[in-house]
Amino acid sequence: MQQIVVGTAGHIDHGKTSLVKALTGTDTDTLPQEKMRGMTIDLGFAYLNESVTIIDVPGHEKFIRNMAAGASSIHVGLLVIAADDGVMPQTREHVEILNIMGIQQGLIAITKIDLVDDPEWIDLVELDILSLVEGSVMEGSEMCRVSTETGEGIEALSDHLIKTVGKVKIVEKSGLFKMNVDRVFSKTGFGVIVAGTVDSGEVQQNDMIECLPGNIQCKIRGIQSHGGEVKLVKIGDRAAFNLTHIEKGDIARGSVLSSTGSLQTSDTLIVCVTLLKNTKWKLKNKQRIRLNIGTNEILARVNLLGRELSAGEEQNIYLSLEKPIAVVSDEAFVVRSYSPMETIAGACVLDTQPKTWRVEKNHISELPTSAKDRFAYWVNSKWKSPKTKYEWSITFFVTMEKMDNWIQESAFIVEPITKLIYSKKSLEQVMNAIEEFIVYSYKKNPLRNIIPGESILENLKIDSQWGHYALETMIDNYSLEKKGKGYNIKGYSYTLNVEDEQNLEAILKIFPENNFDPISLKDLNNVLKHPPKRLNDLIHLLKENMKIVAVGTNLWLKKESEEKLQKVISKYFAEKDSLSVSDFKDLTSQSRKGAIPLLEYCDKKEWTVRSGNERQKGAKVDD
């Protein structure tokens, strides 16, 4: 059975708490301060039935942050307006908050009708309410006249509430568990107890979960929901967890509990902010604001593109938070002024892990507010480092089923081995970048026909797996050729001039004909006196043309000598089982200084296999 959360909203002293008590029999004012002052300070909770929780929120302007914390998890808004007062300042602000949070359904209760003798006055109040909710999520909500003193209208309100609740459709955001914590306390013999409304997924007793910020791994020792012990809770459930492996000081209202590894904290966000139509405030660059996000209130600084924002205007902005928080993509939240505290805007999270403002400012205005469009935008714009379907589902905190729909609707492709998601456009971008880099490399080093694959990808900052897939695709479509660990543009060859030919011949003459002496780059340079870059290019050209091979760091051997060395070792192992360093020195007429890099090269080629201080026959020595 799906669990629905109903949240009250309305001005202070309009009878929200009394109404909840009349509906459920529960007095939600439990704090001593609430009893003494006769007003709700913190969130209160009651149960209409086994599947409906009512959150009673404070109406006083000083406790709007607590109201916003309650609104972050509600499905149905119960707007409470006293017949004798009518619409008041906190009534308007609460409607704005409900609108920002995007509740599914609404119901309006006109309370204290026993205090009004003139029915026409209540008619006027109703007209005022209709004007207030026009264009908001509360527009079209049923209105009920009630009195908690006489009981008039309470039963009808309860019936309407149950019907309204029945219209709610809870859609699973993600298969991963997430819950914003709104209460924390300790209990003798139990330890840390936390409560909240399950925002997504499900969790069971004895599961390990993560508390953020802090990335603290904790265990659920016990679960209560609707006043009873349960083994499992899921999306929409009010739940209290008895946690182990965590101290009370490590968790507070505003903390987030989630499946391990599913969320990250951040102290920067990109959000789309929309100023309220009737606000007198403007949003300015570097302005300090309050964010009521989830069950948290946090301070932040605004980074704006261009001019300040006025009432009703919308823009993508970059926020620098004063402490890290854990949020998910597309999470709605309330923006309030720093001082005096007033609700000035609603906002929605677009990017939970942005780069620096310096990097993001040139692209922030392009970021779509629609999650599906943003996914498509990122697949194409982040073409150097694509993600898997699972990684994207974590980024957007959505189900794998929704990811499948987005991929299909955007005509994206899933790479069969790495499972990376890409588009035809992003593959073309990476292949064009690779080709341009190789052409640039040819201009810079004309003697180097073959460019190492890792060098290409490192220079272009392209993800290795993705980059190699693109390189192989370019081979398949005949635009590239692979040679060893390098690549060249198909059909490209550098025409050697007379000087090049002479230089290459001079290098080869330095290599001895009938022994295995490796030649160092330093030795070659001492003889030829070429500029280092020129000599390096010539050496690599000889390597690409299979004239010489690299046998160590800056050590080279003629190709014919390498082939002869393989035969000598193969012949040796035809008669003997092991090869010592001393034996190898005798075979190759090398000093220990020359023998060691040659032996290591033989190991690399799998002609020999090292075992302690000796070598045995390798698998490829007879190839």
Residue 551 has pLDDT above 60, yes or no: yes
User: Do residues 63 and 124 share a domain?
Assistant: yes
Separation of alpha carbons 269 and 588, rounded Å = 65
Range of the domain at 503: 498-617
- Label each residue of 226-259 as H, E or C: CCEEECEEECCCEEEEEEECCCHHHCCCCCEEEC
Tell me the pLDDT tens digit for each residue of 560-619. Answer: 888 999 999 999 988 898 999 888 888 888 887 788 889 999 999 999 999 888 999 999
Structural domain total, the chain = 5
Query: Cβ(291)–Cβ(335) under 8 Å?
Result: yes
Residues 361 and 374 in one domain: no
Label residue 391 exposed, middle or buried (CB < 10 Å: 0-12, 13-18, 19+).
middle
- How confident is the model at residue 497, as a pLDDT? 76
Q: What is the CATH number of the domain that holds 283?
A: 2.40.30.10
The distance from CA 357 to its chain's CA centroid, rounded to whole angstroms, is 17
Residue 381 near residue 375 (C-beta atoms within 8 A) = no
Q: Give the integer Cα–Cα distance in Å for 99 and 77.
A: 10
Of 112, 136, 166, the last residue of a domain is 166
User: In angstroms, rounded to a whole number, what is the distance separating the alpha carbons of residues 291 and 294?
Assistant: 9
Quick check: is 301 in a domain?
Answer: yes
Average pLDDT of the segment spanning 439-452: 83
CA-based torsion, 210, 216, 217, 219: positive or negative = negative
Contact 457, 549 (CB under 8 A): no
Tell me whether residue 346 is in a domain.
yes
Tokens of 361: 């400012």
329 and 254 in a common domain = no
CA distance 89 to 48: 28
pTM of the model: 0.78
| 31 and 155 share one domain | yes
**Domain limit, last residue, from 166, 191, 225:** 166
Does residue 154 lie in a domain region?
yes
List pLDDT tens digits, range 241-296: 999 999 999 999 899 999 999 999 999 999 999 999 889 999 999 999 999 898 88
Q: Is residue 320 a contact partner of residue 267, using CB atoms and an 8 Å limit? A: yes
CA distances (Å), 177 to each of 74, 185, 189, 201, 372, in order? 17, 22, 27, 4, 22
Q: Contact, 550 vs 543, CB < 8 A?
A: yes
3-class DSSP state of 92: helix
Q: Does 32 have pLDDT greater than 50?
A: no
Do you know the residue count of the chain?
A: 623
Question: 208 and 156 share a domain?
Answer: no
536 plus 584 within the same structural domain: yes
Whether 201 maps to a domain, the answer reads yes
Cα-Cα-Cα-Cα torsion 458, 460, 466, 468, nearest 10 degrees, comes to -60
- Per-residue pLDDT band at 72 (split at 50, 70, 90): low
Statement to judge: residues 156 and 33 lie in one domain: yes
Domain stop point among 258, 289, 322: 258
CA distances from 219 to 93, 191, 245, 385, 394 (A): 39, 12, 6, 35, 22
Is 173 a domain residue? no
24 and 140 share a domain? yes
Provide the CATH number for the domain around residue 536.
Answer: 1.10.10.10
Average pLDDT, the chain: 87
Does some domain include residue 253? Answer: yes
Alpha carbon distance 382, 82 (integer Å): 54
Whether residue 299 is contained in a domain is answered as yes
Is 397 within 8 Å of 178 (Cβ atoms)?
yes
What is the spatial distance between Cα 397 and Cα 395, in angstroms, rounded to a whole number? 6
pLDDT at 540: 81
Whether residue 147 is found in the same domain as residue 212: no
Cα–Cα dist 452/18, whole Å? 75
Q: Report if residue 534 sits inside a domain.
A: yes
Do 331 and 467 belong to one domain?
Answer: no
Q: Give the CATH number for residue 91.
A: 3.40.50.300
H/E run at residue 160: helix 154-166
Together in a domain, 550 and 509: yes
Whether residue 494 has pLDDT greater than 60: yes
Are 108 and 62 in a shared domain? yes
Residue carrying structure tokens 């808004």: 77
Amino acid symbol at 508: L
Q: What is the pLDDT of residues 205-245, one digit of tens each?
A: 999 999 999 999 999 999 988 778 899 998 888 888 999 99
